Chain A
């Protein structure tokens, strides 16, 4: 028997779509073994997850609340990934954005109107994330340091920094010794759709970001330059595209959007800065999967962000109702990412078997 791997030429949309659906399906099948091992009927578990995330009003509200930061981060990651800049540091960028916004909330908020406070919080949140994203960009273009390593490591720096703040200088006087900053003043909190944890503003910004990033990538000069740089850096050089400039632009946007997600979390959900793991909830990592599931399409990312929002909520559900650890969801997410990647392989190559 002879097995060989060959490149595919033209691939139809139909084939493309079915490969992805099959990939997700296989991931779901495999993850059902996790439940089987514990003696739980996977159908029961999945129906619980579905009920908890999409099948009930409360679940749906939570799903959307989690989809918002995921979408914001994903849109940023799409920009970086299109340029083949592997930003694994959205978690850190989110935290820095949240920290910047917290400073404004606590020091500027009490004396100013809601409109100006919130506006400035979003602006500095974007700025914080963007600056934190700028570090790995500069390290790469100036010193040739691999961005996967640097963005990943910067996550830990951001986490430890936030931890230092909430246990140390920023620890709230009114929080009974808990590692929280003081609660934000009213002017620095975001209004929520009644009965939910969804804030109007972040929802609108997130949806808007999807449209803007789509236009940015598909219609603008910089979007074109990012795509050329990502697809063929040699051709980018030949065409005279400024690699340094384009890398910086990519990471300012990518980090900035993660920063905005951070503002949404502190101002809309928690209303104070606290443990980094609570603020970021690993969104920065989950968003990587969201981006790939959406095939780096900014509009499809809306669907895949909601899907993963649901999965995260489902994780809470199986934790409370089935007694499963939350990390079960991480295993599931990992399976999805792996199978989407395998799916990617099958859209580019085919395996030929000859007897």
Chain B
């Protein structure tokens, strides 16, 4: 089908079914989107939203079910076909060539790009769009120079210039500061006013109401219902999304912080690219205290965590844990000094996916007594230990012999937490501990962290989930470009303030640090 000559009227899905090994991601999903509509797709992580969108965009093929465009049955076997039907998608992770300019990225793969001087016309076109819809971006800027918000605009431009009439935005605000998100909402509204349709994937209720329009709620691969923001209250939608009332007011007991467990003094840490990612950072964490680190990812959180756990060099400064200097000591030694590490990207770092559960249960301690004896592993002890972990932490697994990759994300995370917190550590570094988990697992893990806090652990919690940070932390540090914009009291700070700090436009002195120093 030729580009640009199709007028998009409607997209209809009928009984879309898609199964992955062990999970039904989409279970007979039916959905209709008309031209000029904002359609929010609301659901928790793992509800099947992204899978469904990948089916519409031709990345996956459904096992069963039909897709109709303008009432005609179609097969979308690749993103190219989807584009030809006027469907565009902006992924959660941008697909841009970092070292190329905006115009070059847009020109790449575009049919009308000229062989010679390819970006000449494109740059003009970008400016035209910029003015029409408010997608302001400099066509000559290189991608790596742009903020996440600007990069997202480039992705949207790419889709529009390929003739997208229906734009799918997959969790578009997850990488944005609150201010950038507000800008995005304006853009979305302008697009719809211009006759485009937008599917907006999110798990944040506020965003749904900000946009207004039609909402379809997905849960465990099924459509729970379709309604509008006028007809349903936030509470009703929340209930549809999680299947029960959210009881997210975790009981957080008052714990009087004890002696200083962790003391970080003026550390510098480099990123993989050799750029200073953590700049002259200092802080303390006391016994029974959770220090939350908020911030848009990529502002040095990862490097900080790796430096504290021995996976990255500390270029300058000191890290003192339990009164011992531990910087640059190596992961194993630091682990033995009482540091537990719940890594981000749990499947990449935290487990060996092809190992049975019991071999992963001892990934950090396999070499110690009683698991290891004169170089031989004592598998009987290891299995007994694993059975106990599985029981104590209610990890759902068919058996301890099951390959760990077959467990759900929540149960993998429980396994990692079980492993990390049963050792006699008193400093827990938790990086995005509930990312991508369902409500029940999230709640379990948050409760566990609070329990460890009560038992006297010092905890560093890095998370992009502001709600989580505010709920669990005793103090919140907002990280921006490798520095703390301030350490604030989660009970006194407003979301707006944190948003501004995350964007680097507000610096706050620590107010409640009287007990420190």
Interface set of A (CB-CB < 8 Å, partner B): 2, 4, 6-10, 219-224, 227-228, 231-232, 234-235, 237-241, 352, 354
Q: Which of B20, B354, B366 contacts A231 (CB 8 A)?
A: B354
Whether B367 pairs with A221 at a CB distance below 8 angstroms is: yes
Say which size band chain B's interface belongs to: 35 or more
What residues of B have a CB within 8 angstroms of the CB of A6 in the complex? Answer: 20-21
What residues of A have a CB within 8 angstroms of the CB of B353 in the complex? Answer: 231-232
Beyond the given A2-B75, A8-B21, A221-B375, please list 7 additional residue pairs across the A-B interface where CB-CB is below 8 A. A219-B376, A220-B375, A235-B363, A238-B311, A238-B363, A240-B333, A354-B63
Q: Which of B21, B350, B366 contacts A10 (CB 8 A)?
A: B21
Stretch at the interface among B4-12, B34-42, B222-230, B341-349: B341-349
Main secondary structure, interface of B, reads: loop
What residues of A have a CB within 8 angstroms of the CB of B77 in the complex? Answer: 2
From residue 75 to 106 of chain B, which have CB atoms closer than 8 A to chain A?
75, 77
Whether A240 pairs with B21 at a CB distance below 8 angstroms is: no
Contact A235 B61, CB 8 Å, known A2-B75, A221-B366, A240-B364: no
> Nearest chain-A residue to B334 (Cβ)?
A240
Whether B350 pairs with A235 at a CB distance below 8 angstroms is: yes
What are 25 A-B interface contacts by the 8 Å CB criterion? Answer: A4-B60, A6-B20, A7-B20, A7-B21, A8-B21, A9-B21, A9-B406, A219-B377, A220-B376, A222-B375, A223-B377, A224-B359, A227-B352, A228-B355, A232-B353, A235-B348, A235-B351, A235-B352, A237-B311, A237-B331, A238-B341, A239-B364, A240-B331, A240-B333, A241-B332
The 3 closest A-B CB pairs, nearest first, are A9-B21, A240-B332, A240-B331
Q: Once the chains are docked, how many angstroms separate the CA of A238 from the CA of B330? A: 10
B280 in the interface (beta carbon within 8 A): no
Contact A235 B349, CB 8 Å, known A8-B21, A219-B379, A240-B331: yes
> Nearest chain-B residue to A4 (Cβ)?
B61
B372 in the interface (beta carbon within 8 A): yes
B43 in the interface (beta carbon within 8 A): no
B310 in the interface (beta carbon within 8 A): yes
B335 in the interface (beta carbon within 8 A): yes
Nearest-Cβ distance from residue A213 to partner chain B, whole angstroms: 15
> Nearest chain-A residue to B60 (Cβ)?
A4
What residues of B have a CB within 8 angstroms of the CB of A231 in the complex? Answer: 352-355
Contact A221 B363, CB 8 Å, known A235-B352, A238-B341: no
Nearest-Cβ distance from residue B410 to partner chain A, whole angstroms: 18
Contact A224 B21, CB 8 Å, known A238-B311, A238-B349, A354-B61: no
B274 in the interface (beta carbon within 8 A): no
Whether B376 pairs with A232 at a CB distance below 8 angstroms is: no
Q: Once the chains are docked, how many angstroms separate the CA of A228 from the CA of B343? A: 17
Binary interface encoding of chain B residues 268-296 relative to chain A, with 1 for a CB under 8 A from any of its CBs, else 0 = 00000000000000000000000000000
What residues of A have a CB within 8 angstroms of the CB of B348 in the complex? Answer: 232, 234-235
What residues of B have a CB within 8 angstroms of the CB of A238 in the complex? Answer: 311, 331, 341, 343, 349-350, 363
Among A219, A223, A227, A235: residue with most chain B CB under 10 A: A235
What residues of B have a CB within 8 angstroms of the CB of A222 in the complex? Answer: 375
From residue 373 to 399 of chain B, which have CB atoms closer than 8 A to chain A?
375-377, 379
Whether B354 pairs with A9 at a CB distance below 8 angstroms is: no
Q: Which of A2, A219, A239 contacts B363 (CB 8 A)?
A: A239
Nearest-Cβ distance from residue B391 to partner chain A, whole angstroms: 23
Nearest-Cβ distance from residue A226 to partner chain B, whole angstroms: 12
B22 in the interface (beta carbon within 8 A): yes
Binary interface encoding of chain B residues 155-179 relative to chain A, with 1 for a CB under 8 A from any of its CBs, else 0 = 0000000000000000000000000
> Nearest chain-A residue to B365 (Cβ)?
A239
Q: Once the chains are docked, how many angstroms separate the CA of A185 from the CA of B332? A: 52
Q: Once the chains are docked, how many angstroms separate the CA of A101 from the CA of B311? A: 44
Q: Once the chains are docked, how many angstroms separate the CA of A235 from the CA of B354? A: 12
Binary interface encoding of chain B residues 247-262 relative to chain A, with 1 for a CB under 8 A from any of its CBs, else 0 = 0000000000000000
Whether A240 pairs with B335 at a CB distance below 8 angstroms is: yes
Nearest-Cβ distance from residue B74 to partner chain A, whole angstroms: 12
Q: Once the chains are docked, how many angstroms separate the CA of A227 from the CA of B363? A: 11
Nearest-Cβ distance from residue A18 to partner chain B, whole angstroms: 19
> Nearest chain-A residue to B331 (Cβ)?
A240
Contact A232 B352, CB 8 Å, known A10-B21, A239-B364, A240-B335: yes
Q: Which of A221, A234, A240, A354 contacts B372 (CB 8 A)?
A: A221
Binary interface encoding of chain B residues 312-350 relative to chain A, with 1 for a CB under 8 A from any of its CBs, else 0 = 000000000000000000111101000001010000111
> Nearest chain-A residue to B363 (Cβ)?
A239
Nearest-Cβ distance from residue A244 to partner chain B, whole angstroms: 12
What residues of A have a CB within 8 angstroms of the CB of B310 in the complex? Answer: 240
Q: Which of B331, B354, B377 contacts A221 (CB 8 A)?
A: B377
Q: Once the chains are docked, how many angstroms separate the CA of A2 from the CA of B310? A: 48
Q: Once the chains are docked, how many angstroms separate the CA of A8 from the CA of B364? A: 29
What residues of B have a CB within 8 angstroms of the CB of A10 in the complex? Answer: 21-22, 403, 406
Q: Once the chains are docked, how many angstroms separate the CA of A135 from the CA of B63? A: 51
What residues of B have a CB within 8 angstroms of the CB of A352 in the complex? Answer: 61, 63
What residues of A have a CB within 8 angstroms of the CB of B355 in the complex? Answer: 227-228, 231
Whether B61 pairs with A2 at a CB distance below 8 angstroms is: yes
What residues of B have a CB within 8 angstroms of the CB of A220 in the complex? Answer: 375-377
What residues of B have a CB within 8 angstroms of the CB of A239 in the complex? Answer: 331-332, 363-364, 366
Nearest-Cβ distance from residue A19 to partner chain B, whole angstroms: 17
Nearest-Cβ distance from residue B434 to partner chain A, whole angstroms: 19
Q: Once the chains are docked, how many angstroms separate the CA of A237 from the CA of B306? A: 11
Q: Once the chains are docked, how many angstroms separate the CA of A239 from the CA of B343? A: 11
Nearest-Cβ distance from residue B333 to partner chain A, whole angstroms: 8
Q: Once the chains are docked, how many angstroms separate the CA of A310 from the CA of B399? A: 41
What residues of B have a CB within 8 angstroms of the CB of A237 in the complex? Answer: 311, 331
> Nearest chain-A residue to B21 (Cβ)?
A9
What residues of A have a CB within 8 angstroms of the CB of B349 in the complex? Answer: 234-235, 238
> Nearest chain-B residue to A7 (Cβ)?
B21
Whether A9 pairs with B22 at a CB distance below 8 angstroms is: yes
From residue 52 to 68 of chain B, which have CB atoms closer than 8 A to chain A?
60-61, 63
What residues of A have a CB within 8 angstroms of the CB of B22 in the complex? Answer: 9-10
Whether A224 pairs with B377 at a CB distance below 8 angstroms is: yes
Q: Once the chains are docked, how many angstroms separate the CA of A139 from the CA of B250? A: 54
Q: Once the chains are docked, how many angstroms separate the CA of A3 from the CA of B426? A: 52
> Nearest chain-A residue to B371 (Cβ)?
A221
Nearest-Cβ distance from residue B510 to partner chain A, whole angstroms: 32
> Nearest chain-A residue to B403 (Cβ)?
A10
Whether B377 pairs with A240 at a CB distance below 8 angstroms is: no
What residues of B have a CB within 8 angstroms of the CB of A221 in the complex? Answer: 366-367, 372, 375-377
Q: Once the chains are docked, how many angstroms separate the CA of A234 from the CA of B311? A: 10
Contact A228 B352, CB 8 Å, known A10-B406, A219-B376: yes
> Nearest chain-B residue to A231 (Cβ)?
B352
Q: Once the chains are docked, how many angstroms separate the CA of A2 from the CA of B62? A: 10
What residues of B have a CB within 8 angstroms of the CB of A2 in the complex? Answer: 61, 75, 77
